[in-house]
Structure 1
């Protein structure tokens, strides 16, 4: 049986998270017809918080530092979720997924401005490929405004927020505080969404389909992915994590075509291919420098145990 190192598992966790996030566009899109964005997110993240507390309450330790850091992360993530979800109601699921993926462009740029982070050559190559891929994907016909409208603009704004959240996560989270920060962050997201939802009155889901969607978004795509991201980013630096998670738009397109009655186009194929290549370059740079050395290195690091 193969023994995987934490960084390898962290990359796999980020890929799984991107797949789950990609599935949420179609799920959210269907429910937004009946439930306002803030109302949906308020219930979703409240349930996410309860789920996290049930499974991790013995490991929770909150002090002033964790409270401040978790609140910052929650405001960034919650604000981005609200803006993105409102934008999703004005465009197609695949378009929203593609534009949200531009967080991969903003992440290294923001990190460089704030922290003066040095970026490896493979990161810049991956960013360039991601820009090309996202540009191709974003010209796919389908916007309800027949162009770049408010829905698309809001989605891009949310991408900036998600990039800032990724950087904050990479800066604040350690193996010791990952669970506690996840709890505080989710609580902050929940409070923020309720503050936005309450003034206009809250619409609660009334059908089994909507409740099924909320439970999936809360438990799997909410609590599960928040924990995966906070744990994984202990081992994967922010710029690399952003490019790995950039596979989210491809999954959004897949689920939109498979379950959302959207059509597959050449833009999806070409743009998705560019993003896939970017993800491979950032996660396995040695593969493109010297494929033979990567195979040798992988073999040396892999231990096989007989069970």
Structure 2
């Protein structure tokens, strides 16, 4: 196995670990937001993550070129806005429908990469997108109606797709620490602004809520952002998006393991389709020319 193949595999495994962490948070989030406003929870979570990351990596931030600082700020604003839109939409629709609509970033990502970066998307990626979308539908949907909550969540999925494309295009391995910290600070500012109308964020109400918030901030927030920024320096955006659709598979697995949900055929088939999509774009032995979007193409300047 070549060095580039090993790095690509490590990046894929890193994204899988990250999505597993995200999948573990659904039960925690549901418990916490039942006792404090969603915007307040996001503001506290990302503020803690931002303070931790800036304290650890401020020297890396200082070393960033001004252009990379602005890029990190833009990426953070896009991601933070997506978080707010997703949670506002979640207040109006069921979590399962929210999960499916949010997962539509797997469709938006290759489309945006084609439009914005003029990257050619191989046919195998579109097959994988179809498989992943079908799997997400089976995992998430028992009914579907298009209302305001769906449109808000769909817009958040578009922003997540834009973030994945932008991060893949601008991230470099030696700048992952600094770029992650800049993004996290701006995400925290965006979420804090959303709490201004009612006088600032409410703090977690008890010890259990604080433990969950700290886990979400430091592991699922700061750690996950750092991993995503590093991994996307080595993977094309469309492949990264498809790997990240394993999040609902992990979420369903944790729900079953914790006794929250029962194992169903929809979970098995839907999860299998998502994993098949990831296998197609990342783990399948590649034929010559199959990787038509090499990671090096991510770094050309605009």
Question: Which TM-score applies when normalising by structure 1?
Answer: 0.85
CA distance in 2, matches of 1:200, 1:260: 37
Deviates more, 1:196-205 or 1:236-245: 196-205
Name the residue aligned to 1:51. 52
How is 1:239-250 mapped onto 2 (pairs within 5 angstroms)? 239-250=238-249
Name the residue aligned to 2:13. 12
- SS of the residue corresponding to residue 8 of structure 2 reads helix
Name the residue aligned to 1:27. 28
- SS of the residue corresponding to residue 246 of structure 2 reads helix
Deviates more, 1:6-15 or 1:196-205: 196-205
Describe the shift of the 1:263–1:147 C-alpha distance in structure 2 as closer, same or farther (beyond 3 A): farther
Name the residue aligned to 1:195. 193
CA distance in 1, matches of 2:261, 2:153: 19
CA distance in 1, matches of 2:149, 2:27: 16
Deviates more, 1:92-101 or 1:166-175: 92-101
Structure 2: where are the runs of 5+ without partners? 289-302
Give the alignment's Cα RMSD to 1 decimal: 2.2
Shift, 1:115, TM fit: 1.6
Shift, 1:140, TM fit: 2.6
1:139 aligns with 2:141: yes
Name the residue aligned to 1:273. 272
1:47 touches 1:218 (CA, 8 Å); kept in 2? yes
1:182 touches 1:227 (CA, 8 Å); kept in 2? yes
1:35 touches 1:203 (CA, 8 Å); kept in 2? yes
Name the residue aligned to 1:231. 230
Name the residue aligned to 2:175. 177
Shift, 1:139, TM fit: 2.4
2:75 touches 2:166 (CA, 8 Å); kept in 1? yes
Name the residue aligned to 1:285. 284
Question: Paired residue for 1:161, among 150, 155, 159?
Answer: 159
Describe the shift of the 1:22–1:151 C-alpha distance in structure 2 as closer, same or farther (beyond 3 A): farther
2:58 touches 2:178 (CA, 8 Å); kept in 1? no
Describe the shift of the 1:209–1:257 C-alpha distance in structure 2 as closer, same or farther (beyond 3 A): same
Name the residue aligned to 2:79. 77
1:100 touches 1:249 (CA, 8 Å); kept in 2? no
Count of residues in correspondence between the two structures? 283
Describe the shift of the 1:25–1:85 C-alpha distance in structure 2 as closer, same or farther (beyond 3 A): farther
Shift, 1:265, TM fit: 2.9
1:122 touches 1:285 (CA, 8 Å); kept in 2? no
